[in-house]
Amino acid sequence: MLKKRLIRYEDLIPCKAAFIDAKTPGSNLKDNYSIIGVGVSESRHQKVNLPEKHGFCIGAAGQPPRVKNSPHSHFTAEVFMVYSGHWRFYWNNDEMSELILHPGDIISLPTNMFRGFENIGDEYGMIFSILGNDDSGGGVEWLPRVIQEAEGYGLILLENGKLIDTTIGETIPEGIKPMPILTQEQLANFDQYTVEEMTKHIGFVGKYKSSSFNNFPNQNPNTLNWIDILGPQDSKKHNFAVKPGDPNGDGFNVYALQSVSEGATGKYSRDEVEVLLVHRGEFEIYCSYNGEELKATLKDGDIFTFPKGATRSIETKTYGLAYFVVGTDYP
């Protein structure tokens, strides 16, 4: 069982046609990954590494240079951690506001707001995502032009959120209608954010500060630092870097563990599910759960999800940075 919870970077399975814009020039050639949970893929062919429900979903997007993910809006939280490449995130109905993120940066995008993203680097880039809830709110909403442009390339989005590809002979099932495009009245109800407002939703890796919370597991505080990244406003013990003062929780917390040399957490456990995602470095993990034990070394891009209540420990030998996604909003 525990072996299935270890997901290597090289074992991620891309879907080439996960969304309505998969064939639209400028938005094609991208890869979508559903790693933990089903996510919001519109394709019936999307593969999932670990379907087990966590209360949130983890996925990824991989894109060649100058390829965009078209503007869409989510019903639950959408958080991105930049793994590789340089990315332009743009938002609002007019798609005119933007910020640039680099490896290690993290952004929490509000619900009820259109957003897109583009790899502006010179090489293939990858960003990991966290989506709130097990079903991620049941799908996404697209700007009207995205659906209209896709029709010219044989893709039709149905009202049940699934794609039909007419170029391979697929037809609209009886009793199901195409997804209607949003009206101008509906579009007017979406939120608009300034660049200044969105900057508060970003954690820049070079500005992270060590957490002042004293109860993190840590046997080597001189070489091992925990960082508060994303969490609820009402926390009195943590100083989160992203969205400080935001009254709306995302349904999960994000922390980071940074090492400068050898360090160890010692053994600990959590009542919540905890997912470890390595950004850079090597992290040696130990996990004991229901009589089963696992030891493994995680490297760049590897993921392990610790079951609720499992005993665990983490060791580092050199520089490293890893993100931890912890279930539920709690202070």
Distance CA 227, CA 249 (A): 18
- 241 found inside a domain: yes
Of 12, 10, 7, 8, whose CA–CA distance to 33 is shortest? 12
Mean pLDDT for 246-256 is 79
Average pLDDT for 239-254: 77
pLDDT digits (tens, 9 = 90+) for 192-215: 999 999 999 999 999 999 998 989
What is the tens place of the pLDDT at every residue in 291-305?
999 999 999 999 999
Residue at 6 is within a domain: no
Q: What is the pLDDT of residue 238?
A: 86
Residues 6+ apart with CB under 8 A from 151: none
Banded model confidence at residue 249, pLDDT cuts 50, 70, 90: low
Which domain-ending residue is among 162, 182, 199?
Answer: 199
Rounded to the nearest 10 degrees, how much is the dihedral formed by the CA atoms of 97, 207, 212, 263? Answer: 130
CATH of the domain at 155: 2.60.120.10
Query: Which residues constitute the domain of residue 322?
Result: 208-327
Residue 281 near residue 259, CB atoms below 8 Å: yes
Please list, in sequence order, all residues whose beta carbon lies within 8 angstroms of the beta carbon of residue 221, skipping any fewer than 6 positions away: none
My answer on whether 139 and 225 are in the same domain is: no
Q: Is the pLDDT of residue 331 over 90?
A: no
116: in domain? yes
Question: pLDDT by residue (tens digit) across 91-140?
Answer: 999 999 999 999 999 999 999 999 999 999 999 999 999 998 887 666 88
Position 134 scores a pLDDT of 84
- Same-domain status, 150 and 282: no
What DSSP element (H or E) covers 199? helix 195-199
Answering whether pTM is above 0.85, one says yes
168-179: pLDDT as tens digits: 898 999 999 999
pLDDT tops 80 at residue 234 = no
On whether both 185 and 323 belong to a single domain, the answer is no
- pLDDT single digits (tens) 33-78: 999 998 888 888 889 999 999 999 999 999 999 999 999 999 888 9
Distance of alpha carbon 130 from its chain centroid, rounded?
A: 3
Predicted local confidence at residue 257, as pLDDT:
97
Last residue of a domain, one of 199, 226, 247: 199
Q: If you ran DSSP here, which 8-state letter would residue 3 be given?
A: G
Please check whether residues 191 and 280 belong to one and the same domain: no
Residue 99 phi/psi, 5-degree rounding, is: -145, 155
- The pLDDT-based confidence of 232 (bands split at 50, 70, 90) is confident
- Assess whether 149 and 192 both reside in one domain: yes
